Chain A
Amino acid sequence: MTRRYPITLPWSRSTTQRLTPEALSARYLTVVLRYAAARLGAGPEAEDVATEVFVAAYAAWHRCPTPAPDSSEHDPVRAWLFGIARNKVADVLRRRQRRPEFPLLESTLAAPFELGVLEEEEAQQLATLLASLPDDQREALRLKYIEELSLVEIGLILHRSPAAVGTLLHRARLAARERGRTYFEEKTR
Protein backbone atom coordinates (compact mmCIF):
# COMPACT_ATOMS: atom_id res chain seq x y z
CA MET A 1 0.00 0.00 0.00
CA THR A 2 1.45 3.32 -1.04
CA ARG A 3 1.05 6.41 0.98
CA ARG A 4 -0.98 9.14 -0.61
CA TYR A 5 0.71 11.96 1.22
CA PRO A 6 4.30 13.08 0.81
CA ILE A 7 6.82 12.54 3.55
CA THR A 8 9.62 15.06 3.66
CA LEU A 9 12.72 13.82 5.33
CA PRO A 10 15.51 16.23 6.26
CA TRP A 11 18.08 14.38 4.21
CA SER A 12 15.85 13.59 1.26
CA ARG A 13 16.75 15.21 -2.01
CA SER A 14 14.39 17.82 -3.25
CA THR A 15 14.14 19.67 -6.48
CA THR A 16 12.90 22.77 -4.69
CA GLN A 17 15.16 25.28 -3.00
CA ARG A 18 15.04 25.97 0.69
CA LEU A 19 13.45 29.21 1.70
CA THR A 20 15.52 32.13 2.78
CA PRO A 21 14.67 33.66 6.14
CA GLU A 22 13.29 36.73 4.42
CA ALA A 23 11.09 34.61 2.14
CA LEU A 24 9.77 32.69 5.12
CA SER A 25 8.58 35.79 6.91
CA ALA A 26 7.23 37.42 3.75
CA ARG A 27 5.22 34.35 2.84
CA TYR A 28 3.93 33.19 6.20
CA LEU A 29 3.74 36.13 8.56
CA THR A 30 0.13 36.88 7.74
CA VAL A 31 -1.13 33.31 8.11
CA VAL A 32 0.73 32.85 11.36
CA LEU A 33 -0.68 36.08 12.71
CA ARG A 34 -4.15 35.09 11.61
CA TYR A 35 -3.83 31.75 13.36
CA ALA A 36 -2.73 33.47 16.55
CA ALA A 37 -5.45 36.06 16.32
CA ALA A 38 -8.07 33.37 15.77
CA ARG A 39 -7.03 31.76 19.01
CA LEU A 40 -6.20 34.75 21.12
CA GLY A 41 -7.97 37.66 19.51
CA ALA A 42 -6.28 40.29 17.45
CA GLY A 43 -4.03 42.61 19.32
CA PRO A 44 -0.57 42.86 20.81
CA GLU A 45 -0.76 39.34 22.23
CA ALA A 46 -1.28 37.76 18.83
CA GLU A 47 1.49 39.87 17.35
CA ASP A 48 3.81 38.82 20.14
CA VAL A 49 3.00 35.20 19.44
CA ALA A 50 3.71 35.71 15.74
CA THR A 51 7.06 37.24 16.59
CA GLU A 52 7.88 34.38 18.94
CA VAL A 53 6.98 31.89 16.22
CA PHE A 54 9.54 33.38 13.86
CA VAL A 55 12.16 33.67 16.56
CA ALA A 56 11.73 29.96 17.28
CA ALA A 57 11.67 29.13 13.58
CA TYR A 58 14.94 30.92 12.92
CA ALA A 59 16.50 29.32 15.99
CA ALA A 60 15.52 25.89 14.66
CA TRP A 61 16.27 26.79 11.07
CA HIS A 62 17.91 23.45 10.33
CA ARG A 63 14.51 21.83 10.93
CA CYS A 64 12.67 24.02 8.45
CA PRO A 65 11.30 21.71 5.76
CA THR A 66 11.78 22.24 2.09
CA PRO A 67 8.74 23.86 0.51
CA ALA A 68 6.53 21.62 -1.54
CA PRO A 69 6.20 22.33 -5.27
CA ASP A 70 3.57 24.91 -6.15
CA SER A 71 1.36 22.19 -7.61
CA SER A 72 1.14 20.45 -4.25
CA GLU A 73 -1.82 21.09 -2.02
CA HIS A 74 0.29 20.40 1.05
CA ASP A 75 2.63 22.97 2.49
CA PRO A 76 5.04 21.41 5.03
CA VAL A 77 6.50 24.80 5.90
CA ARG A 78 3.11 26.16 6.89
CA ALA A 79 2.39 23.04 8.92
CA TRP A 80 5.76 23.40 10.65
CA LEU A 81 5.06 27.04 11.52
CA PHE A 82 1.57 26.24 12.74
CA GLY A 83 2.99 23.55 14.97
CA ILE A 84 5.26 26.15 16.55
CA ALA A 85 2.39 28.66 16.74
CA ARG A 86 0.16 26.11 18.42
CA ASN A 87 2.68 25.66 21.22
CA LYS A 88 3.13 29.40 21.61
CA VAL A 89 -0.61 29.94 21.83
CA ALA A 90 -0.87 27.17 24.40
CA ASP A 91 1.77 28.99 26.45
CA VAL A 92 -0.30 32.17 26.36
CA LEU A 93 -3.44 30.32 27.37
CA ARG A 94 -1.63 28.71 30.28
CA ARG A 95 -0.49 32.15 31.39
CA ARG A 96 -4.06 33.37 31.18
CA GLN A 97 -5.19 30.53 33.40
CA ARG A 98 -2.68 31.59 35.99
CA ARG A 99 -4.01 35.16 35.79
CA PRO A 100 -7.79 35.05 36.35
CA GLU A 101 -8.34 38.65 35.22
CA PHE A 102 -8.18 37.31 31.69
CA PRO A 103 -11.12 35.30 30.34
CA LEU A 104 -10.50 31.58 30.60
CA LEU A 105 -12.10 30.86 27.25
CA GLU A 106 -10.07 31.37 24.19
CA SER A 107 -10.95 34.42 22.18
CA THR A 108 -11.77 32.17 19.34
CA LEU A 109 -13.71 34.69 17.34
CA ALA A 110 -12.85 37.79 19.17
CA ALA A 111 -13.79 41.32 18.58
CA PRO A 112 -11.17 42.75 16.33
CA PHE A 113 -13.16 42.09 13.31
CA GLU A 114 -15.83 44.42 12.19
CA LEU A 115 -18.89 42.29 12.84
CA GLY A 116 -22.50 43.22 12.88
CA VAL A 117 -24.73 42.54 15.89
CA LEU A 118 -26.13 39.34 14.42
CA GLU A 119 -22.74 38.18 13.26
CA GLU A 120 -21.28 38.93 16.64
CA GLU A 121 -24.00 36.94 18.34
CA GLU A 122 -23.46 34.08 15.91
CA ALA A 123 -19.74 34.16 16.49
CA GLN A 124 -20.28 34.07 20.23
CA GLN A 125 -22.58 31.07 19.89
CA LEU A 126 -19.99 29.31 17.79
CA ALA A 127 -17.26 30.11 20.25
CA THR A 128 -19.34 28.64 23.04
CA LEU A 129 -20.00 25.56 20.96
CA LEU A 130 -16.32 25.07 20.14
CA ALA A 131 -15.35 25.58 23.75
CA SER A 132 -17.53 22.64 24.71
CA LEU A 133 -15.61 20.29 22.41
CA PRO A 134 -12.52 18.34 23.38
CA ASP A 135 -9.26 20.13 22.63
CA ASP A 136 -8.13 17.95 19.74
CA GLN A 137 -11.53 18.09 18.03
CA ARG A 138 -11.71 21.86 18.42
CA GLU A 139 -8.19 22.27 17.04
CA ALA A 140 -8.92 20.00 14.09
CA LEU A 141 -12.03 21.97 13.20
CA ARG A 142 -10.20 25.24 13.35
CA LEU A 143 -7.27 24.08 11.28
CA LYS A 144 -9.49 22.52 8.68
CA TYR A 145 -12.28 25.02 8.26
CA ILE A 146 -10.79 28.31 9.40
CA GLU A 147 -7.17 27.91 8.32
CA GLU A 148 -8.08 25.59 5.45
CA LEU A 149 -5.20 23.23 5.97
CA SER A 150 -5.07 19.83 4.34
CA LEU A 151 -5.38 16.62 6.33
CA VAL A 152 -1.67 16.03 5.80
CA GLU A 153 -0.78 19.43 7.22
CA ILE A 154 -3.13 19.00 10.18
CA GLY A 155 -1.61 15.59 10.76
CA LEU A 156 1.86 17.13 10.89
CA ILE A 157 0.67 19.67 13.46
CA LEU A 158 -1.30 17.26 15.61
CA HIS A 159 1.18 14.40 15.14
CA ARG A 160 -1.44 12.12 13.60
CA SER A 161 -1.80 10.37 10.32
CA PRO A 162 -4.12 11.95 7.73
CA ALA A 163 -6.56 9.10 8.21
CA ALA A 164 -6.64 9.71 11.95
CA VAL A 165 -7.21 13.39 11.30
CA GLY A 166 -10.14 12.52 9.06
CA THR A 167 -11.65 10.39 11.79
CA LEU A 168 -11.07 13.13 14.32
CA LEU A 169 -12.80 15.67 12.13
CA HIS A 170 -15.73 13.33 11.61
CA ARG A 171 -16.18 12.92 15.34
CA ALA A 172 -15.79 16.66 15.87
CA ARG A 173 -18.53 17.41 13.38
CA LEU A 174 -20.81 14.83 14.98
CA ALA A 175 -20.20 16.31 18.42
CA ALA A 176 -20.71 19.88 17.17
CA ARG A 177 -23.90 18.86 15.40
CA GLU A 178 -25.25 17.20 18.53
CA ARG A 179 -24.27 19.97 20.88
CA GLY A 180 -25.26 22.66 18.43
CA ARG A 181 -28.74 21.20 18.14
CA THR A 182 -29.09 21.02 21.88
CA TYR A 183 -27.73 24.51 22.24
CA PHE A 184 -29.90 26.07 19.59
CA GLU A 185 -32.97 24.20 20.72
CA GLU A 186 -32.44 25.48 24.24
CA LYS A 187 -31.87 28.97 22.94
CA THR A 188 -34.96 28.96 20.78
CA ARG A 189 -37.26 27.63 23.49
Chain B
Amino acid sequence: MSATLTCSQPDCPAPAGGVCALGHANPVDCPQATVPSADAPEPAAAVPTATAEPGPPGDDELLPPAPTPGVLLHPGVALSVAQANVLASDAGVRVVLPVGSVGTGKTTLAVGLYERFLARSWGGASYLWSETLLDFEMLAFPGRLASGAGIPSTWRTRLRDSAGHLLHLRVSCESSPRLDLVFANLPGELSDHIRDGEAPASEIPLLASADRLVMCVDGAKIASPGHHGLAVSHTRQFLRTLKQGSGVPPTCAVSLVLTKFDLVSDTPGGVERWEAARAALEPELAGLGRPGIVVCTAARAKTSGFAPDGMDVLLQWLTSPDGLADPALPDPRVAGPRAADRFTGQTP
Protein backbone atom coordinates (compact mmCIF):
# COMPACT_ATOMS: atom_id res chain seq x y z
CA MET B 1 0.00 0.00 0.00
CA SER B 2 2.85 2.39 0.76
CA ALA B 3 3.90 2.36 -2.89
CA THR B 4 0.84 4.41 -3.82
CA LEU B 5 0.82 6.62 -0.78
CA THR B 6 1.61 10.31 -1.08
CA CYS B 7 2.57 12.65 1.73
CA SER B 8 2.40 16.40 2.18
CA GLN B 9 5.21 16.31 4.75
CA PRO B 10 8.36 17.53 2.99
CA ASP B 11 11.05 14.88 2.59
CA CYS B 12 8.96 12.14 4.14
CA PRO B 13 10.34 8.77 2.99
CA ALA B 14 7.01 6.93 3.48
CA PRO B 15 5.80 7.22 -0.14
CA ALA B 16 8.98 5.46 -1.22
CA GLY B 17 8.32 2.67 1.25
CA GLY B 18 10.29 4.23 4.09
CA VAL B 19 9.38 5.18 7.63
CA CYS B 20 6.82 7.92 8.33
CA ALA B 21 8.62 11.19 9.11
CA LEU B 22 6.12 11.91 11.88
CA GLY B 23 6.67 8.57 13.52
CA HIS B 24 3.46 6.73 12.66
CA ALA B 25 4.02 3.00 12.73
CA ASN B 26 1.67 2.64 9.78
CA PRO B 27 2.20 5.58 7.39
CA VAL B 28 -1.44 5.57 6.31
CA ASP B 29 -2.34 6.62 9.87
CA CYS B 30 -0.42 9.86 9.41
CA PRO B 31 -2.67 12.91 8.85
CA GLN B 32 -0.20 14.16 6.24
CA ALA B 33 -0.60 11.01 4.14
CA THR B 34 -2.96 10.57 1.24
CA VAL B 35 -3.97 7.23 -0.20
CA PRO B 36 -5.87 6.91 -3.49
CA SER B 37 -9.31 5.52 -2.92
CA ALA B 38 -8.51 2.17 -4.49
CA ASP B 39 -5.90 1.68 -1.81
CA ALA B 40 -7.76 3.27 1.04
CA PRO B 41 -8.10 1.10 4.13
CA GLU B 42 -11.48 -0.08 5.27
CA PRO B 43 -13.10 2.29 7.75
CA ALA B 44 -12.38 1.51 11.38
CA ALA B 45 -14.88 -0.94 12.78
CA ALA B 46 -16.18 1.47 15.33
CA VAL B 47 -16.74 4.32 12.92
CA PRO B 48 -18.80 2.83 10.11
CA THR B 49 -20.51 5.07 7.60
CA ALA B 50 -23.06 7.10 9.44
CA THR B 51 -26.73 6.83 8.82
CA ALA B 52 -28.55 9.82 7.47
CA GLU B 53 -29.88 12.50 9.71
CA PRO B 54 -33.43 13.48 8.96
CA GLY B 55 -33.46 15.81 5.98
CA PRO B 56 -36.04 18.28 4.81
CA PRO B 57 -39.57 16.93 4.21
CA GLY B 58 -39.88 14.85 1.07
CA ASP B 59 -36.16 14.48 0.72
CA ASP B 60 -35.45 11.00 1.94
CA GLU B 61 -33.50 9.60 -0.97
CA LEU B 62 -29.79 9.23 -0.36
CA LEU B 63 -27.19 8.65 -2.99
CA PRO B 64 -24.19 6.46 -2.15
CA PRO B 65 -20.93 8.30 -1.48
CA ALA B 66 -19.14 9.23 -4.68
CA PRO B 67 -15.95 7.19 -5.11
CA THR B 68 -13.61 10.17 -5.34
CA PRO B 69 -10.00 10.22 -4.25
CA GLY B 70 -9.73 11.74 -0.86
CA VAL B 71 -7.61 12.60 2.11
CA LEU B 72 -7.19 10.42 5.16
CA LEU B 73 -8.36 12.04 8.35
CA HIS B 74 -7.03 11.44 11.83
CA PRO B 75 -8.74 8.31 13.16
CA GLY B 76 -9.63 9.84 16.52
CA VAL B 77 -9.04 6.59 18.38
CA ALA B 78 -6.72 5.66 21.24
CA LEU B 79 -3.04 6.24 20.60
CA SER B 80 -0.26 3.73 20.57
CA VAL B 81 2.91 4.49 22.48
CA ALA B 82 4.63 5.42 19.22
CA GLN B 83 1.89 7.88 18.35
CA ALA B 84 1.93 9.37 21.83
CA ASN B 85 5.69 9.77 21.53
CA VAL B 86 5.15 11.96 18.48
CA LEU B 87 2.78 14.08 20.52
CA ALA B 88 5.22 14.22 23.42
CA SER B 89 8.15 15.22 21.28
CA ASP B 90 6.03 17.99 19.79
CA ALA B 91 4.74 19.60 22.93
CA GLY B 92 5.42 17.51 26.00
CA VAL B 93 2.69 15.60 27.76
CA ARG B 94 1.64 14.71 31.27
CA VAL B 95 1.16 10.98 31.58
CA VAL B 96 -1.66 9.93 33.89
CA LEU B 97 -1.67 6.29 34.90
CA PRO B 98 -4.81 5.01 36.61
CA VAL B 99 -4.21 1.61 38.24
CA GLY B 100 -6.50 -0.80 40.03
CA SER B 101 -8.31 -4.08 39.62
CA VAL B 102 -10.73 -4.99 36.85
CA GLY B 103 -13.97 -3.01 37.11
CA THR B 104 -12.60 -0.46 39.56
CA GLY B 105 -13.61 2.45 37.32
CA LYS B 106 -10.30 3.58 35.82
CA THR B 107 -11.69 4.15 32.33
CA THR B 108 -14.78 5.83 33.71
CA LEU B 109 -12.59 8.33 35.53
CA ALA B 110 -10.88 9.42 32.31
CA VAL B 111 -14.12 9.45 30.35
CA GLY B 112 -15.85 11.35 33.15
CA LEU B 113 -13.19 14.05 33.01
CA TYR B 114 -13.74 14.43 29.24
CA GLU B 115 -17.50 14.25 29.37
CA ARG B 116 -17.89 17.14 31.78
CA PHE B 117 -16.44 19.50 29.17
CA LEU B 118 -19.51 18.84 27.03
CA ALA B 119 -21.50 20.96 29.46
CA ARG B 120 -19.03 23.72 30.29
CA SER B 121 -15.49 24.64 31.25
CA TRP B 122 -15.00 23.18 34.71
CA GLY B 123 -12.43 22.47 37.38
CA GLY B 124 -10.50 25.56 36.29
CA ALA B 125 -9.87 24.11 32.83
CA SER B 126 -11.22 24.41 29.29
CA TYR B 127 -11.22 21.89 26.46
CA LEU B 128 -8.65 22.60 23.77
CA TRP B 129 -8.37 19.44 21.67
CA SER B 130 -8.44 15.67 21.73
CA GLU B 131 -6.60 13.33 19.39
CA THR B 132 -8.83 10.54 20.67
CA LEU B 133 -12.21 12.25 20.53
CA LEU B 134 -14.04 9.34 18.93
CA ASP B 135 -12.85 6.83 21.48
CA PHE B 136 -13.83 9.14 24.31
CA GLU B 137 -17.28 9.33 22.77
CA MET B 138 -17.51 5.61 22.20
CA LEU B 139 -16.50 4.94 25.79
CA ALA B 140 -19.02 7.48 27.05
CA PHE B 141 -21.90 6.03 25.04
CA PRO B 142 -23.04 3.37 27.57
CA GLY B 143 -23.74 6.20 30.01
CA ARG B 144 -25.96 8.01 27.55
CA LEU B 145 -29.71 7.75 27.15
CA ALA B 146 -29.21 6.98 23.47
CA SER B 147 -27.55 3.67 24.38
CA GLY B 148 -30.91 2.22 25.39
CA ALA B 149 -29.46 1.00 28.68
CA GLY B 150 -30.84 1.76 32.11
CA ILE B 151 -27.71 1.73 34.22
CA PRO B 152 -24.68 3.80 33.19
CA SER B 153 -21.54 1.86 32.39
CA THR B 154 -18.35 2.23 30.37
CA TRP B 155 -17.03 0.25 27.44
CA ARG B 156 -13.43 -0.74 27.33
CA THR B 157 -13.40 -3.87 25.18
CA ARG B 158 -12.25 -2.29 21.96
CA LEU B 159 -9.39 -0.53 23.66
CA ARG B 160 -8.31 -3.77 25.25
CA ASP B 161 -8.24 -5.47 21.88
CA SER B 162 -6.52 -2.72 19.96
CA ALA B 163 -2.92 -1.59 19.84
CA GLY B 164 -3.72 1.84 21.25
CA HIS B 165 -4.26 2.29 24.97
CA LEU B 166 -3.69 5.99 25.42
CA LEU B 167 -6.44 8.59 25.56
CA HIS B 168 -5.55 12.20 24.91
CA LEU B 169 -7.09 15.38 26.30
CA ARG B 170 -5.59 18.83 25.78
CA VAL B 171 -6.82 21.52 28.12
CA SER B 172 -5.97 25.05 29.06
CA CYS B 173 -5.88 25.90 32.73
CA GLU B 174 -4.57 28.52 35.07
CA SER B 175 -1.10 27.05 35.24
CA SER B 176 -0.72 26.34 31.55
CA PRO B 177 -2.33 27.65 28.36
CA ARG B 178 -1.80 24.20 26.86
CA LEU B 179 -1.56 21.01 28.83
CA ASP B 180 -1.63 17.63 27.10
CA LEU B 181 -2.93 14.92 29.39
CA VAL B 182 -2.38 11.36 28.19
CA PHE B 183 -4.39 8.77 30.11
CA ALA B 184 -3.21 5.19 30.05
CA ASN B 185 -6.28 3.01 29.67
CA LEU B 186 -4.86 -0.32 30.69
CA PRO B 187 -6.69 -3.52 31.56
CA GLY B 188 -7.18 -4.08 35.27
CA GLU B 189 -5.71 -7.54 34.88
CA LEU B 190 -2.26 -5.95 34.71
CA SER B 191 -2.77 -4.41 38.12
CA ASP B 192 -3.99 -7.76 39.42
CA HIS B 193 -0.83 -9.41 38.15
CA ILE B 194 1.30 -6.89 40.04
CA ARG B 195 -0.82 -7.44 43.13
CA ASP B 196 -0.12 -11.14 42.76
CA GLY B 197 3.64 -10.59 42.60
CA GLU B 198 4.60 -9.93 39.00
CA ALA B 199 7.27 -7.30 38.36
CA PRO B 200 5.58 -3.90 37.93
CA ALA B 201 7.97 -2.68 35.24
CA SER B 202 7.30 -5.67 33.03
CA GLU B 203 3.54 -5.66 33.54
CA ILE B 204 3.12 -1.92 33.04
CA PRO B 205 6.15 -0.43 31.23
CA LEU B 206 4.37 2.92 31.22
CA LEU B 207 5.06 3.15 34.95
CA ALA B 208 8.47 4.58 34.12
CA SER B 209 6.83 7.44 32.24
CA ALA B 210 4.05 8.27 34.67
CA ASP B 211 3.70 11.80 35.99
CA ARG B 212 0.52 11.12 37.95
CA LEU B 213 -0.33 7.70 39.35
CA VAL B 214 -3.99 7.32 40.26
CA MET B 215 -4.44 4.42 42.66
CA CYS B 216 -8.09 3.54 42.24
CA VAL B 217 -10.00 1.82 45.02
CA ASP B 218 -13.32 0.29 44.01
CA GLY B 219 -16.14 2.02 45.89
CA ALA B 220 -18.51 -0.86 45.18
CA LYS B 221 -16.24 -3.20 47.12
CA ILE B 222 -15.59 -0.70 49.90
CA ALA B 223 -19.35 -0.27 50.27
CA SER B 224 -19.84 -4.00 50.65
CA PRO B 225 -19.47 -5.35 54.22
CA GLY B 226 -18.26 -8.66 52.81
CA HIS B 227 -15.68 -7.29 50.40
CA HIS B 228 -14.16 -4.15 51.80
CA GLY B 229 -11.44 -5.97 53.73
CA LEU B 230 -10.33 -7.81 50.64
CA ALA B 231 -10.34 -4.57 48.63
CA VAL B 232 -7.99 -3.03 51.18
CA SER B 233 -5.81 -6.13 51.18
CA HIS B 234 -5.55 -6.18 47.38
CA THR B 235 -4.69 -2.48 47.22
CA ARG B 236 -2.09 -2.85 49.93
CA GLN B 237 -0.47 -5.79 48.17
CA PHE B 238 -0.39 -3.84 44.93
CA LEU B 239 1.19 -0.79 46.53
CA ARG B 240 3.83 -2.83 48.33
CA THR B 241 4.77 -4.74 45.19
CA LEU B 242 4.99 -1.43 43.40
CA LYS B 243 7.25 -0.03 46.08
CA GLN B 244 9.49 -3.05 46.06
CA GLY B 245 9.70 -2.97 42.28
CA SER B 246 11.01 0.61 42.36
CA GLY B 247 9.22 1.26 39.07
CA VAL B 248 7.55 4.51 40.00
CA PRO B 249 9.62 7.58 39.07
CA PRO B 250 10.48 9.79 42.05
CA THR B 251 8.89 12.74 40.23
CA CYS B 252 5.57 10.95 39.88
CA ALA B 253 2.82 12.15 42.20
CA VAL B 254 0.66 9.36 43.62
CA SER B 255 -2.93 9.76 44.72
CA LEU B 256 -5.47 7.49 46.34
CA VAL B 257 -8.80 7.78 44.56
CA LEU B 258 -11.97 6.15 45.75
CA THR B 259 -14.30 5.48 42.82
CA LYS B 260 -18.11 5.06 42.89
CA PHE B 261 -18.41 7.19 45.99
CA ASP B 262 -22.16 7.43 45.37
CA LEU B 263 -22.43 3.73 46.21
CA VAL B 264 -20.31 4.15 49.34
CA SER B 265 -22.39 7.12 50.42
CA ASP B 266 -25.69 5.32 49.82
CA THR B 267 -24.72 2.19 51.72
CA PRO B 268 -25.16 2.11 55.53
CA GLY B 269 -21.71 2.00 57.07
CA GLY B 270 -20.07 2.66 53.72
CA VAL B 271 -18.45 5.93 54.68
CA GLU B 272 -17.10 4.41 57.89
CA ARG B 273 -15.63 1.51 55.95
CA TRP B 274 -13.99 3.96 53.57
CA GLU B 275 -12.48 5.92 56.44
CA ALA B 276 -11.03 2.71 57.81
CA ALA B 277 -9.71 1.76 54.39
CA ARG B 278 -8.19 5.17 53.95
CA ALA B 279 -6.48 4.97 57.34
CA ALA B 280 -5.01 1.61 56.35
CA LEU B 281 -3.90 2.58 52.85
CA GLU B 282 -2.64 6.15 53.16
CA PRO B 283 0.55 5.13 55.00
CA GLU B 284 1.27 2.66 52.20
CA LEU B 285 1.77 5.58 49.80
CA ALA B 286 4.80 6.82 51.71
CA GLY B 287 7.99 6.30 49.74
CA LEU B 288 6.12 5.77 46.52
CA GLY B 289 6.82 8.69 44.20
CA ARG B 290 5.52 11.86 45.76
CA PRO B 291 2.45 12.30 47.90
CA GLY B 292 -0.60 13.44 45.97
CA ILE B 293 -4.14 13.67 47.25
CA VAL B 294 -6.82 11.41 48.64
CA VAL B 295 -10.18 12.03 47.00
CA CYS B 296 -13.59 10.38 46.76
CA THR B 297 -15.06 10.44 43.26
CA ALA B 298 -18.31 9.60 41.54
CA ALA B 299 -17.43 9.94 37.88
CA ARG B 300 -20.66 8.40 36.68
CA ALA B 301 -23.28 8.16 39.37
CA LYS B 302 -26.52 6.29 38.69
CA THR B 303 -28.40 9.54 39.15
CA SER B 304 -27.23 13.08 38.52
CA GLY B 305 -26.79 15.73 41.13
CA PHE B 306 -24.55 13.69 43.40
CA ALA B 307 -22.33 16.30 44.94
CA PRO B 308 -19.57 16.78 45.64
CA ASP B 309 -18.42 14.17 43.14
CA GLY B 310 -14.72 14.89 43.62
CA MET B 311 -14.05 15.16 39.90
CA ASP B 312 -13.14 18.84 40.05
CA VAL B 313 -10.60 18.09 42.78
CA LEU B 314 -9.15 15.30 40.68
CA LEU B 315 -8.90 17.48 37.57
CA GLN B 316 -7.28 20.31 39.49
CA TRP B 317 -4.71 17.89 40.84
CA LEU B 318 -4.02 16.51 37.40
CA THR B 319 -3.61 19.96 35.87
CA SER B 320 -1.78 21.72 38.66
CA PRO B 321 1.97 22.03 38.32
CA ASP B 322 2.32 21.44 42.06
CA GLY B 323 0.42 18.19 42.21
CA LEU B 324 3.74 17.24 43.69
CA ALA B 325 4.45 17.67 47.36
CA ASP B 326 7.87 19.16 46.79
CA PRO B 327 7.61 22.18 44.52
CA ALA B 328 11.39 22.47 44.35
CA LEU B 329 11.59 19.65 41.85
CA PRO B 330 10.66 20.53 38.28
CA ASP B 331 7.30 19.44 36.99
CA PRO B 332 7.72 17.33 33.84
CA ARG B 333 5.27 19.38 31.80
CA VAL B 334 6.70 22.72 32.83
CA ALA B 335 10.17 21.47 32.06
CA GLY B 336 9.13 21.45 28.42
CA PRO B 337 9.11 18.92 25.62
CA ARG B 338 11.16 15.81 26.11
CA ALA B 339 13.01 13.84 23.55
CA ALA B 340 11.29 11.06 21.67
CA ASP B 341 11.94 8.56 24.45
CA ARG B 342 9.06 9.87 26.54
CA PHE B 343 7.30 6.54 26.82
CA THR B 344 9.93 3.97 26.02
CA GLY B 345 12.61 5.24 28.34
CA GLN B 346 15.19 4.57 25.66
CA THR B 347 17.93 7.02 24.82
CA PRO B 348 17.25 8.64 21.45
Q: Do A and B bind each other?
A: no
